[in-house]
Every structure is written in structure tokens, then in C-alpha cells.
Amino acid sequence: MATDLSILGEVLVISSLFLLGIGYLLSERGHTFLGKYFPKKIGHQISILGWICLGLFWWIEVEYYILIQDPVNALICAAALPFFGYLAYHEYLSIIWKESYEPLRWLAAMTVVAGGIYFFVERVPLLAGWFIHLVAEQSVWFLHIFDLETSLGAIDYGEGSRYYRSGSEHEEVRVAVEADGWKDPLAPSVNIVLACTALQSMIIFVGGVICTKAPFRSRLNGFLVTVPPIYVLNLIRNAVVIWLTYEHVWGDDTFYWAHAVYAKIGSLIALVILAIAVFHFLPEMQDSILGVIDLPLREAQEKNQYTLPLAKGMPNTVIYILILGLILFPFGASANSVSSQGINVDWPLEEMYILSLVLLFISAFLLFFYRDPYREIQKGIVSPADGLVQEATMKNGMVRISIFMNLQNVHVNRSPIKGRIISQKHKPGGYSPAFSKDSDKNERLITKLDTKLGTVKMTQIAGFLVRRIVSYVKPESKVRKGERLGLIHFGSRVDLAFEESGIELKVKKGDRILAGQTIAIFTPMSELSTVEKVVEAPKRIISKLKATANEEAKNVTNIIYNIHDSVINRSNLAPEKKKK
């Protein structure tokens, strides 16, 4: 993959920095260019592409770290796409919420500055060689202070062009450090490479300081308390590692402990101290960092703002499965390339590939199921769900409509009409398929709305799989027509019941409909002519009486059933009492 995708990797990294830079500039305010106006959302759209390109670039780098058997950095690169995808998601929120998030813009600008400096130096061997040699020279100065004579070899540029070299070639520029007379014969040689220059640490602070919106003096102080100390401390670090290694202090493991353990721990402590110092002089930078950390807590200024077209109440497990699949995929995708290079790696790459495909397939299916797309809300009484009309009747003064939702349908349910939630009642029940007649006994949630039609009863019936109903509303809350009321997990059904007075049905059994589509029209008496009122009034009165009588009959039946169940329970208890 490193060879085949090297050009793609270069395109991705350069494109990402260019797109993030343009996105940052355009997302600050609207711009007019060549007579055409570009709104702020254009900047956020460009930034979305920039974050995704950056994540894909690091995804490609996973194979290199597999080859050098560095699992930590390989895992970090594999997690880059989910992470940068999350940042792209927040750029999307900035578009639909019509509000920029300044910490995210700061992070984009810092990425452009820091990444631009590092990749420019790293990709141009002549520039990298000059900087490495400069650091190596100044590092050995500290050894000369203690009379430890040390010399430097010539700059080793490796194979390839000295003017530009893609990252996939991974030919590090290096400068060898030689001890004159005091090196232990068993000690390995030490080379200074770009990673030994502290360039990464310095450019992070440079990018953070420059891109922070603060007075120039504050930013200058922030720069002075971080970058020069980092540079000097790194020279001391290099000198100590060279001395410990060539003195062979801890035997063959000296370089490992000096460079990979103690030096890294010391660098981490120094960076924490310097971060505290820069926060003192530049509190605006601290606010930006905390704002990035608080991204999961970000909320829209207005309540009920739309986010992704996914159902509210979707289990977080779906996202975890997707993230795990995305992390495992580049490991598995590198299996053939690694084996073709004759390198043996004790990692189950092929198994990881199969597992990643399974996880990605499952997550794609679940995301499809939990989708919540835009629906046009039409006039009249609208459908509460997508699906197949199983029943559409007008009988005994009542309209009854039943809509079956299959697995491929959207399972978010909406209010059929404007009104107020009177009550909600959850009833446990069986687990029959939602399309069967026995599903009338399934678990259900009955919601009653007070509307201009009177009482509208909406019953959400669970199917035989997950059997879980999520409600988005509470009693006494007011709802708009077409507003989302809840979600039923997997195969399910929604029933509507309301008075037929003044109703004209627009659907029939067997129709396939979408949520928000007109299923009935209600014509109030006030819109009828005098002659129509004379004809229609008796019909509506009779219809209301039938509906009321039917409802009362149901209530009486329920009371009788309750008394019947109570008597049976008491009769079952009687023999037990006699025995006692």
C-alpha cells in the first residue's frame, strides 16, 4: 500500500492543509470574489473535506508503522479517520446551526500552520538536513563543555531526491555522532534525525500561539516562554542520551532506556510545565484548547435544532461498532502488501480485515435502519410513519388507520396533527411480528393528543426483535404537525384512531406512504355553506354519538375484564388461606 498509494498520500496531505486554510478564511465571514458572494457555510463545507482528507492520509500511514512494528503509532494513525471525521461532523453542525465554533476554527488554523511547517521541512531533504545538522552541532556543544570530544559525520540524505521526497519513501535524513576516544566499544552508534530536533513540539506551540486571537504582546510572550525553552531543553536531552549511550551505562539497553523511556518522560513533564506557563501569558489559548475538549458537550443555541439525519435514541453501540471497524480496516487492508514484501509480522492482519468488514457491514445496516431523513409535511392529517397501510376504515363513528413498518422503512414516528399530549401509557405485551393479527397484544405505547378533531389516539406497537419504544415527548407538551414523537426499534406498527366526523380518507389498504404525507382531510363546519351545514350537521352528531358510545362500551368492557381478573385472583388465593 505504501508504494501504490504514495501519490494519493501526498495529494491527501497537501489537499487537507490547503482546504483547511481556505475553509478557515471563508468561515470567518461572507466573502465576495469576482462578483460572486460566498457565505460562511462554504468555508465550513471546505473544512469538512479538509478534515476527511487529513484522516485518510494518516490512515494510509498505518502500513509503515506495521512494517517497523510500532503498534502504538499504527493504532493512532488508524484512529485518525474517526477522529477527524468527528471534527468534520462538527463543521456540519456549524452549517445547519448557522453558528461557527471558534475553538474548532482555531484548531483548523493551528493544523494548517503546524502541519504546513512540518511537512515542508520533512518533505525537503536539503532543508531537513540543514536543520538536523544545526541541532546536532549545538547538541555536542554541551558535551564539549564537559571535555567530551565529539564529532559529526556528513549529512546522510539516503536515496532519492534531495529537493522533494514523498513521505511514503521513509528515507530519513540523518547525521552520525562520533565520540573521539571515550565511547565504549560495545555501545551502538547514535544518529540525529528529524525526530530529535523537537520540531514537532515547537510547531505545535507556534501554531497554537499564532492562531490564537489575542493581543500581539500576549502572543509574543507565549512564544518566548515555549519555543526557545523547548529548543534548548531538547539540545540538553540529545547530549544526555548521547553520553549515556556511549558510556554504555545500562549495558545493551542503555539507548532504549535513555531515549525511549527517560527522555520521553522528561519531555512530557517539560511540555506540561511549558503549557501551564503559556496559559498564564495567553489564557485565550487555554480557552481554545478547552473548547476543543468540550466538543462533545456542544449544543445549539436554539433547542430542537436538527443534527445528523439519524434517529434520536439510536444506541451509541452503533457508533462504537463503526469506529472499531474503521480502526481495524487499515490494518487488515495492509495484509497483502506486508506479506508481499516478505516481512513477517506477528499480528493477525487477515483476521482483522475480515472482522473490520463484518463490523462495517453491521454498522452500515444499523445506520440505514436508524436514518431519519427530511420529510415534507403536507396538508391535512398526515401519516405518522413510513410504511404499508394495513387498515384504513371508517366504522362506528371512528377512523382507524394502521401502518406497518418493515425493516427497510424509517422507524421514527411523527405527530399526525397539531395538538397537546394528554397522556401516554405504556403496556407490556407479547412479541409477535408487527404485521400479524396477534401483534395487537404486543408491547405498545399509547399516546393521546387533544386536537381540533377531538382526541386522537396514536398507538406505537413493537415487533418481535428489539421490542423497545422510545418516546421524545411528555404529557402536557405541545406538538406541531409532523413533529417527531418517538422511535420504535425494528419491525413495528403504528395505529391511529380518531372521530370520523368531517373526515375524508385519502389512503386505502395496500398503499405505501411516507411520514408527513396526507392520509385524511378534515373540513370544519365553519368552512361549509349553509345548505351543506344543514345536511352535514345531523351526520356529524350521529357520528360523534357512535364514537362516544363505542368508547364508553370499551371502557365498560375493560372494567368488566378488570373485575373478572380480580375475582379469579381472589379465588386462587382462597384455597391457600384454607390450607394455612
Cell of 544: 360523534
218 phi and psi angles, rounded to 5 deg: -65, -40
Active-site pick, 168, 415, 492, 501: 492
Where does 91-229 show beta strands of DSSP type E?
Answer: 150-156, 174-179, 190-192
Where does 12-126 show beta strands of DSSP type E?
Answer: 31-33, 36-38
Q: Please give the Cα distance from 213 to 385 (Å, whole number).
A: 48
What is the CB neighbour count within 10 angstroms for residue 516? 20
Report how far apart, in Å, the C-alpha atoms of 252 and of each of 190, 248, 492 are.
13, 7, 67
**Which amino acid is it at 48?**
I
Q: What dihedral do alpha carbons 24, 28, 33, 35 form, nearest 10°?
A: 150
Both ends of the chain: CA-CA distance in Å?
80
CA 44 vs. chain centroid, Å, equals 16
Q: HEC states along 469-502?
A: EEECCCCCCEECCCCEEEEECCCEEEEEEEECCC
Q: Residues 414, 382: contact at Cβ < 8 Å?
A: yes
Based on the residue annotation, tell me whether 402 is a catalytic residue of this protein. Answer: no
Q: Please give the Cα distance from 213 to 283 (Å, whole number).
A: 10
Sequence-separated contacts (24+) of 93-99 with Cβ below 8 Å: 93/298, 93/300, 93/307, 94/27, 94/41, 94/44, 95/41, 95/44, 95/45, 96/305, 96/306, 96/307, 97/300, 97/301, 97/302, 97/305, 98/41, 99/300, 99/301
Q: Please give the Cα distance from 340 to 3 (Å, whole number).
A: 12
- Our separate counts of H helices and E strands in the chain read 17, 19
Catalytic residues: 492
